[in-house]
Structure 1
Amino acid sequence: MLALALGGFGIGTTEFVTMGLLPNIAHAMRVSEPTAGHAVSAYALGVVIGAPVIAAVCARVSRKKLLIALMAAFTLGNVATVVAPTFETLVLARFVTGLPHGAYFGVASLAAATLAPVGQRAKAVAAVMLGLSAANVVGVPAATWLGQHLGWRDAYVVVTVIGLATVAALLYFVPELTGIRMTNPMTELGALRRPQVLLTLLVGAIGFGGMFAVYTYISTTLTSVAGMSAGSVPLVLMLFGVGMVVGNIVGGVLADRGVDRAIFLSMIGMAVILAGFVVAAHNPYAAAAGAFLVGATGAALAPGLQTRLMDVAHEAQTLAAALNHAALNIANAAGAWLGGAVIAAGFGYTAPALVGAGLAVVGVLLFLGTVGAARRDARSAAATL
């Protein structure tokens, strides 16, 4: 579990540190900050494309070997980020780095759920996701501080080292995972024919976007709106990460007690917190507290969505688990783009939070429709027996 979580730690650090260093990257590459946000969107797009393709094509590959290969590819992508000479090559490097993200988390989550005791699947999935959350407590603030003081590229050097350590940990500590049944590409792709899989993915893609709309531009929001110093930004990012750790744990516990209820409560909480952040962002203490709560409500949603997808996908669990992260990174890309759009339109750095609250509300409504459709299908199936 620790080896699997270490991979999540590296992935979480590289994904979120870009947001913390966005002003530095924009200045160094001589582009505007909304334009620099395209590096965030490129990574997310890589996840969206890589997750289904890799999960389907590699359906017959040993799960342990696949995990190692995915982390090796992730490490090489970060090396390419470090040496990128232009903004265009940086965007390409971020795209390549994102390709293994969703497939890694999908296979790791399925491995954890398979090895978990009965009734504790969501907690096991949350344990793997804890690496992603912990990255926002330690990895992202540390890499952001390093990037601010030594240069943004050094942050990705740290991630490269984490990637190499993860490859070694997976190689020596993860069992062969023979309990996971091998499938084939057509079986895995069959998940895409299940309405409940597609609807649950859509819930994540829309409802999760609000967190990224705020977090992508959090550095400038904290300095220009809340009046904080640049040196305070890593501390607030750490608070955001602590919120993710707390939310991840709470979300896992809630999902084991009732997956649908856990998803619903998390999304309602996210909508309320994001709406409140519009006001909270004007005060440094309230902004810091708001960052914690945004991270907590966002992370609480992930275990429930991951578990629900594995349930409704039936035999195509690997692809479904990987697609969860594709959906969340569609939310990442959409949130970053929408946040940048309202900023570029002159609405200011609090506008992304309002957009995010709207996305969360749409996600809640869509999820209610998804659950309603599942109940109607269950009643119809029962009536035919």
Structure 2
Amino acid sequence: MTSPLQILTGSIPAVTGTLQTVRPDQQEPKYSPRQVMIAILALSIGGFAVGVTEFAIMGLNAAAAEDLGITEAQGGLLVTFYAAGVVIGAPILSLMGAKRERKHYALFLLGLFTFAHLFSYFAPSFEALLLGRFLSGLPHGAFFASAALMAAHMAGPTKRARAIAVVLSGIAIANLAGVPFVTWAGLEFGWRIMFLITAVLAVITMVAVTLWAPKVYPPEGSSVRGELKGLLNQQLWVGVLLAVVGFSGMFAIYSYISYIAMDVTGLTAGAIPIVVFFYGLGNVVGNFAGGYWSDKSVLGTVMAGTVTVAVSMALFGAFAHIPVLMITFLLLIGVAAGALGPSVQTHLLDCAPRAPQLAASFQHSAFNSANAIGAIMGAVVIEAEFGLRAPAYAGAITASLGVLICGYAIWLAKRSAYRV
């Protein structure tokens, strides 16, 4: 296992094995290891802020609903409207940034993100708050697209997946530490403080990026038309489908983990944070491991992660009544899902070299679509009275479909004479 410092400084040898092969004239960028480390860590703070706002609201829904005088179902719209903003905003704002210098465009997106959270903090009504959540989600995908492209450029072609993993680690670390802290702060000092904390994190990111991130220009000839033409690539859409299917099974379990832990495993409500902690820990470990192995073989890492998710979900369902085994398999699901983050992101970039900004944003649209699909899938099998183990089995079947899609993606790559 490698440390983030090793990943950033490039002290580990890496070999390219990705769809987009490195040409002899493609030289490593002229940045010092320290410069790369500081710049990518600055971008990861933004990822941490996004992770906080995306997931902390789930733990504060009840408090928000009580304060606003709305039902719990209406409170769930605070999650839905954010996800809708991500799905809609990712392609639109990414296209707008196709010709723009990456650093300044990332700062613009962070500014929009900050404004939306301050708007949410002061929102006078539930309807205004829904608008604030929608606006908050708009820059999500485009920011990660810009950040991933900046990180990949700075790290160079043989270490780009590991650099992307560090940017994405902000979300994983937010789930592990940031979300529990912000949830506690929201319950202690008022649920709206979540928006203020997130806005402050975004401002810190803006300052750090301004001071330490270099300017990164898009490839010569980049244009909105070129990005749109890049969408004609079949491999890109297979990759997007793979992302949706690969992540949806995970959400089928995660959306109902508290019910499974209490009603099937027999744990108390007080043990739920421990259960969630192990999943978050798996995400962090898997994220960095996925970045490292993706620099050796992108689709090989995707295949390994998808197979592990499928097997672990089936075993999770079978042994959910045994606490130690339930947590063990949940940890493995977290590791595999974490590894899929940087590997799928890198694969999408490889699939559309003429549409990098748009392709990089698609993972986040796919991730949020998978969130909704997984939650609905879990609800359907539970409502059909198949029991609380059923979401795990449904997720295993979905992940198995992901294995087939990944196999097809590998076949397409080999047919195109790319290394996988």
State if a TM-score over 0.5 links the two structures: yes
Pair 1:76-2:115 in alignment: yes
Give the aligned residue type for 2:71. Answer: V
Give the aligned residue type for 1:107. Answer: S
CA-to-aligned-CA distance 1:273-329 (integer Å, 9 cap, x gap): 222333454444444434422221111011111111111212211111111221122
CA positional deviation for 1:362: 1.4
Pair 1:328-2:328 in alignment: no
Instruction: Kindly report the root-mean-square deviation, in angstroms, between the aligned alpha carbons of the 2 structures.
Output: 2.6
Give the aligned residue type for 1:168. Answer: V
Give the aligned residue type for 2:353. Answer: H
Segment drifting more, 225-234 vs 194-203: 225-234
State the partner residue of 1:367.
406
Report if aligned partners of 1:20, 1:216 keep a CA contact under 8 Å in 2. Answer: no
Give the aligned residue type for 2:310. Answer: A
State the partner residue of 1:383.
none
Give the aligned residue type for 2:224. Answer: P
CA positional deviation for 1:144: 2.3
Q: Provide closer, same or farther for how the CA distance between residues 220 and 182 of structure 1 changes in structure 2, counting only shifts above 3 A.
A: farther
Give the aligned residue type for 1:102. Answer: G
CA positional deviation for 1:59: 1.6
Q: Provide closer, same or farther for how the CA distance between residues 17 and 340 of structure 1 changes in structure 2, counting only shifts above 3 A.
A: farther
1:302 to 341, 356, 359: 341
Segment drifting more, 213-222 vs 327-336: 213-222
Aligned to 1:119, the other structure's residue is in SS state coil
Measure the CA separation in 1 of the matches of 2:136 and 2:57: 12
CA-to-aligned-CA distance 1:325-383 (integer Å, 9 cap, x gap): 2112211222233334444555554433332222211111122122223333449xxxx
1:63 to 102, 126, 145: 102
Measure the CA separation in 2 of the matches of 1:164 and 1:345: 46
Segment drifting more, 104-113 vs 344-353: 344-353
Measure the CA separation in 2 of the matches of 1:22 and 1:280: 31
State the partner residue of 1:31.
71
Measure the CA separation in 2 of the matches of 1:100 and 1:269: 32
State the partner residue of 2:56.
17
CA-to-aligned-CA distance 1:239-271 (integer Å, 9 cap, x gap): 222111100111111111111110000001111
1:311 to 324, 334, 350: 350
Q: Provide closer, same or farther for how the CA distance between residues 242 and 322 of structure 1 changes in structure 2, counting only shifts above 3 A.
A: same
Report if aligned partners of 1:37, 1:337 keep a CA contact under 8 Å in 2. Answer: no
CA positional deviation for 1:24: 4.6
Measure the CA separation in 2 of the matches of 1:339 and 1:96: 28
TM-score normalised by the chain length of structure 2:
0.81
Measure the CA separation in 2 of the matches of 1:175 and 1:330: 33
Identity %: 40
Aligned positions of 1:1-385 closer than 5 A: 1-25=40-64, 30-32=70-72, 36-84=75-123, 88-178=127-217, 181=220, 183-378=222-417
Max radius of gyration: which structure?
Answer: 2
Q: For structure 1, which runs of at least 5 residues remain unmatched after alignment?
A: 380-385
Aligned to 1:193, the other structure's residue is in SS state coil
Q: Provide closer, same or farther for how the CA distance between residues 228 and 84 of structure 1 changes in structure 2, counting only shifts above 3 A.
A: farther
Segment drifting more, 236-245 vs 103-112: 236-245
Structure (1 or 2) with the greater helix fraction: 1
CA-to-aligned-CA distance 1:15-73 (integer Å, 9 cap, x gap): 1223344555566554346x644433332222121111111122222211111111122
Q: For structure 2, which runs of at least 5 residues remain unmatched after alignment?
A: 1-39
CA-to-aligned-CA distance 1:142-166 (integer Å, 9 cap, x gap): 1223334444333333222212211
Give the aligned residue type for 1:57. Answer: M
Q: Provide closer, same or farther for how the CA distance between residues 349 and 31 of structure 1 changes in structure 2, counting only shifts above 3 A.
A: farther
Measure the CA separation in 2 of the matches of 1:150 and 1:230: 22
CA-to-aligned-CA distance 1:220-242 (integer Å, 9 cap, x gap): 44445444444443333332221
Aligned to 1:208, the other structure's residue is in SS state helix
Segment drifting more, 339-348 vs 71-80: 339-348
CA-to-aligned-CA distance 1:130-183 (integer Å, 9 cap, x gap): 111111121012122333444433333322221221122222221112475561
Measure the CA separation in 1 of the matches of 2:400 and 2:186: 35
Aligned to 1:152, the other structure's residue is in SS state coil
Measure the CA separation in 2 of the matches of 1:227 and 1:79: 41
Give the aligned residue type for 1:307. Answer: T
Give the aligned residue type for 1:31. Answer: T
